[in-house]
Every structure is written in structure tokens, then in C-alpha cells.
């Protein structure tokens, strides 16, 4: 269902020949209106790919009529010529879609190897071929065409019936990472047929990404290309209350974020880190991220070793408010560290399952946050060393 679950959208996914493998590599999503409201959130990496620079500019206008996405090349670190390629892609899209479409309302997203120009001789004809296949049932194919190292394509949909009528938020995602940072590039396109104005759309998207995509941290590496877009067609005629709409956007983002962690390169564990009793939410996030990025802990969890000492080491590198001798840590519900020292018997911790739950109690206040990460495995090393990606 993906990006075409909501009314007013059509999509397509095709193989344009950008990937040597012949796999699908070009997706097109079109908002048929009546509204063209849009919001976007992008990587905070200062080295931004050409399509990110382009799409940030497009989003400033608040209107997006189409999104064209390619896998098989990130178009990052490609200089002025790379930016011209992105511009030409948007121009070509507007041209083949015709009607009121203009390049300034076409967002572009790319994913793949950095530092390689895109094969425009394949990409531009591919845009025309994708336009010819646009369909109100094309969401699934679009989701497949944006895959890189993803083992499965990722989609999510929520439908809501409220006093305002029925409306839908759906979307697709690729990658295994996060907004800042991300393992691989994360590209997400969300669509809704709710009638929501640009300011509320923007507010709902930023609120949702802040606690979902921005809190998955598979390997601490921030991409040059991360992009999350939310397009509203207004085609349902329903105009839900802001809180109701924001909750639905958050639910779809949360679903997709979990799928990204669950499909991270080479991972054998999905690790949920909840930091509780922090003095501030910022403290909780800083501590959660520090734990999530500790390679020694990630190796230990891969080996099913509930090594709470490495959790404490990671907490100790932060500037969060805490007293070392008041820290408590639970792994899968067993409080293996109490008061900064040995707690319950670590032999009680059952590490057999894919999901590992770490609770870090800072004993310093009322705030909390959840960060998701993965373990560090030989497969991760293999996937990221055996070939360029």
C-alpha cells in the first residue's frame, strides 16, 4: 500500500539501468491534489548530496507535486556537475508529467555510493518510463525500487476515522539508519489524503521524526543523503485535529523506524535502550546515544554477554547529570547493576532473543528517552568491507 494507500497519489517503480544488477532503481511518486502541501526533514551532515541541497530548496516553497527517487548512486560529493544532474532530473520529471508540474515543485532523492556521477543517459529515459507506469496501486513497486542493501522493502499505513471523516497516512522507507546519523542513507516518503495545511504538516513531521527516525542509531554514521518527506493531497476531504493527525504520522514513522532497525546490515540483535530518571530529555538522549555507539558493548550483546560494565563505561563519557554510585542498569529486566556496582546475578539474564532491552536509570530526574540500535557483528564488517557501498 505504501505511498499510494492515501487517496490522491500515484506511484511507480522501474528498472532504469542505474544499477548494474538490473534490479529496480527508479521510483516516482506524484501528488494529484487537490492540495500539494509538503514538509521535509533532511540530514544534518554538512556534506550534503546534490539532491538534498535541491530538495531543501524545493521544500522552502511548501509545495511538492512529485518526488523522484533513485537507488544505485547517491550523487554526493559530485560537485557542480552533480547538482546539474539533480536539476536535470527534476526538469525531466516536470516535463514528462506535463500539465501544471514545474521543476521547482519536484523533490529529488538519491541513495547509493558516494562520489560517483549518476548515469544520466539511463536515468532521464527512466523518468519517462516511470511516468508511463504511474498507478494508484504503484506504491509497492516504488518501495522496492529504492532498496539498496535492504533485504526487504518497507511500508506502513494507518487509517483513521474521526469526526472529520476517514483519512490515511502511508509511507515507504529504505535504509537502516537514522536521520542523523544513519547507517546507510535513509529515504522516507510519507503521503496523506488528510486536508492539512503546510505549517501543521511541518510541525507534525518534525515532532514525529524527533522521537522515531532520529532515535534509531544503528552504527553512529551519518549519511549525506537522509531525507524524509511528507506530502498531503487533501483528497479525502477530511481535516483532522492537529493532535490526531500528528499521532498518526508518529505511528507510521515509528513503524518504519522499527523496520529499519530490524533490517540493519548484518545485525543479529535489535537493542532498545531506555534511559529513565534523567534530569532532562537531552541528558537521556545523550546517554542513550553513547550506549548505542559503544562498539565493545555492541560486540558483547552480539555474543549474548550481558556486559553491564560496558554500559557504565559508556554512561561515564557523557556530560549528563548523574552520580556514578547511584546508577542502575537492567538488561532484559534483570537489574544487573545497582548503585553503580554489582546487582542481581547476571546469569539470570536471558539473552536468546533478537530483541535486547537495556534500561539505564540515572537517578537524577523525571525525564526519559528511548534509543534503538543494533549489535556489531562479523556480518556487518563483511557487508561493509567486501565491496564499496
Binding site membership: which residues?
148, 174, 185, 265, 384, 389
- Shortest Cβ 168–a second copy spacing (Å): 35
Asked whether 31 and 11 are in contact (CB, 8 A), the reply is no
**What is d(CA 292, CA 305) in angstroms, rounded to the nearest whole number?**
16
The answer to whether residue 364 forms part of the interface with a second copy (CB under 8 A) is no
- Shortest Cβ 239–a second copy spacing (Å): 40
Could you say which of 144, 310, 362, 371 contacts a second copy (CB under 8 A)?
310
Give the footprint of a second copy on residues 25-44 (CB under 8 A): 44
**Which residues, at least 6 apart from 81, have a Cβ–Cβ distance to it below 8 Å?**
117
The answer to whether residue 348 forms part of the interface with a second copy (CB under 8 A) is no
Choices 121-129, 278-286, 294-302, 364-372; region in contact with a second copy by CB under 8 A: 294-302
The answer to whether residue 363 forms part of the interface with a second copy (CB under 8 A) is no
Our answer to whether residue 78 is catalytic in this structure is no
* Count of residues touching a second copy (by CB under 8 A): 66
Could you say which of 9, 54, 245, 308 contacts a second copy (CB under 8 A)?
308
Could you say which of 339, 358, 365, 374 contacts a second copy (CB under 8 A)?
339
**What is d(CA 64, CA 75) in angstroms, rounded to the nearest whole number?**
21
Choices 7-15, 198-206, 363-371, 379-387; region in contact with a second copy by CB under 8 A: 379-387
Choices 28-36, 70-78, 122-130, 363-371; region in contact with a second copy by CB under 8 A: 70-78
**What is d(CA 47, CA 162) in angstroms, rounded to the nearest whole number?**
43
Could you say which of 29, 69, 204, 314 contacts a second copy (CB under 8 A)?
314
Q: Among 93, 111, 149, 185, which one carries the catalytic annotation? A: 185
**What is d(CA 284, CA 106) in angstroms, rounded to the nearest whole number?**
38
> Beta strand pairing status for 37-42 and 154-162?
unpaired
Task: Give the dihedral sign, CA 160/163/167/169.
Answer: negative
The answer to whether residue 376 forms part of the interface with a second copy (CB under 8 A) is yes
How deeply is 53 buried, as exposed, middle or buried, from its count of CB atoms within 10 A (0-12, 13-18, 19+)?
middle
Buried/exposed code over 66-105 (b: 16+ C-beta within 10 A; e: otherwise): bbbbbbbbbbbebeeebbebbbbbbbbbbbbbeeebebbb
What string of DSSP letters covers 261-285? HHT-TT-S-EEEEEEEEESSHHHHH
Could you say which of 74, 228, 230, 358 contacts a second copy (CB under 8 A)?
74
Per 3-state DSSP, the chain is made up of helix, strand and coil in percentages (nearest 5) of: 35, 25, 40
Count of beta carbons in the 10 Å neighbourhood of residue 251: 17
Whose Cβ is closer to a second copy: residue 126's or residue 181's? 181
Nearest CA among 205, 192, 201 for reference residue 237: 192
Give the footprint of a second copy on residues 216-245 (CB under 8 A): 219-224
Choices 55-63, 125-133, 194-202, 306-314; region in contact with a second copy by CB under 8 A: 306-314
Asked whether 8 and 33 are in contact (CB, 8 A), the reply is yes
**What is d(CA 10, CA 268) in angstroms, rounded to the nearest whole number?**
36
The answer to whether residue 9 forms part of the interface with a second copy (CB under 8 A) is no
In the numeric block, which cell numbers belong to residue 102?
514545474
Tell me phi and psi for residue 111, to 5 degrees: -150, 145
For the chain, what is the largest distance between any 2 Cα atoms, rounded to a whole number of angstroms?
69
The answer to whether residue 317 forms part of the interface with a second copy (CB under 8 A) is yes
Residues 167-206: x/- map of binding to a second copy (CB under 8 A)? Answer: --------------x-x-----------------------
The answer to whether residue 334 forms part of the interface with a second copy (CB under 8 A) is no
356 - beta bridge partners? 271
- Per the annotation, where are the binding residues for substrate? 148, 174, 185, 265, 384, 389
The answer to whether residue 110 forms part of the interface with a second copy (CB under 8 A) is no
Whose Cβ is closer to a second copy: residue 33's or residue 316's? 316
Site residues (vs a second copy, CB under 8 A): 44-48, 74, 76-79, 82, 113-117, 181, 183, 219-224, 293-296, 299-303, 305, 307-310, 312-318, 322, 324-325, 327, 337, 339-342, 376-378, 380-388
What is the set of active-site residues? 185
Amino acid at each position: 500500500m505504501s505511498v499510494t494507500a492515501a487517496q490522491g497519489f500515484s506511484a511507480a517503480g522501474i528498472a532504469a539501468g542505474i544499477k548494474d544488477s538490473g534490479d529496480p532503481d527508479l521510483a516516482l511518486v506524484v501528488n494529484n491534489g487537490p492540495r500539494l502541501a509538503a514538509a521535509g526533514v533532511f540530514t544534518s551532515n554538512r556534506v550534503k548530496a546534490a539532491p538534498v541541497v535541491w530538495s531543501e530548496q524545493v521544500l522552502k516553497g511548501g509545495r511538492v507535486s512529485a518526488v523522484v527517487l533513485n537507488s544505485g548512486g547517491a550523487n554526493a560529493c559530485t560537485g557542480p556537475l552533480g547538482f546539474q544532474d539533480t536539476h536535470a532530473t527534476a526538469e525531466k520529471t516536470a516535463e514528462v508529467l506535463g500539465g501544471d508540474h514545474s521543476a521547482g515543485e519536484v523533490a529529488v532523492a538519491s541513495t547509493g555510493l558516494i562520489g560517483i556521477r549518476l548515469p544520466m543517459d539511463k536515468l532521464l529515459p527512466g523518468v519517462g518510463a516511470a511516468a508511463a507506469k504511474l498507478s494508484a496501486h504503484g506504491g509497492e513497486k516504488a518501495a522496492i525500487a529504492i532498496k539498496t542493501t535492504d533485504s526487504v522493502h518497507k511500508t506502513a499505513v494507518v487509517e483513521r476515522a474521526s469526526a472529520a471523516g476517514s483519512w490515511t497516512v502511508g509511507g515507504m522507507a529504505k535504509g537502516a539508519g537514522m536521520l542523523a546519523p544513519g547507517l546507510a542513507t535513509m529515504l522516507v516518503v510519507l503521503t496523506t489524503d488528510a486536508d492539512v495545511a503546510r505549517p501543521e504538516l511541518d510541525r507534525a513531521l518534525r515532532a514525529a521524526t524527533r522521537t522515531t527516525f532520529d532515535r534509531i542509531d544503528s552504527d553512529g554514521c551519518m549519511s549525506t543523503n537522509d531525507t524524509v518527506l511528507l506530502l498531503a493531497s487533501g483528497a479525502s476531504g477530511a481535516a483532522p485535529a492537529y493532535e490526531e493527525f500528528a499521532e498518526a504520522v508518529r505511528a507510521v514513522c515509528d513503524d518504519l523506524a522499527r523496520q529499519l532497525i530490524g533490517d540493519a546490515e548484518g545485525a543479529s540483535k535489535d537493542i532498545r535502550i531506555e534511559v529513565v530518571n534523567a534530569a532532562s530529555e537531552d541528558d537521556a538522549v545523550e546517554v542513550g546515544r553513547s550506549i548505542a555507539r559503544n562498539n565493545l558493548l555492541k560486540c558483547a550483546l552480539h555474543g549474548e554477554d550481558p556486559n553491564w560494565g560496558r554500559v557504565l563505561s559508556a554512561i561515564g563519557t557523557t556530560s549528563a547529570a548523574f552520580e556514578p554510585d547511584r546508577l542502575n542498569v537492567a538488561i532484559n529486566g534483570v537489574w544487573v547493576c545497582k548503585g553503580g556496582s554489582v546487582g542481581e546475578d547476571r546469569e539470570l539474564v536471558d539473552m536468546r532473543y533478537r530483541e535486547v532491552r537495556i534500561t539505564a536509570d540515572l537517578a537524577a530526574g523525571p525525564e526519559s528517552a528511548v534509543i534503538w540500535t543494533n549489535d556489531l557483528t562479523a556480518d556487518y564488517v563483511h557487508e561493509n568491507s567486501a565491496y564499496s557501498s
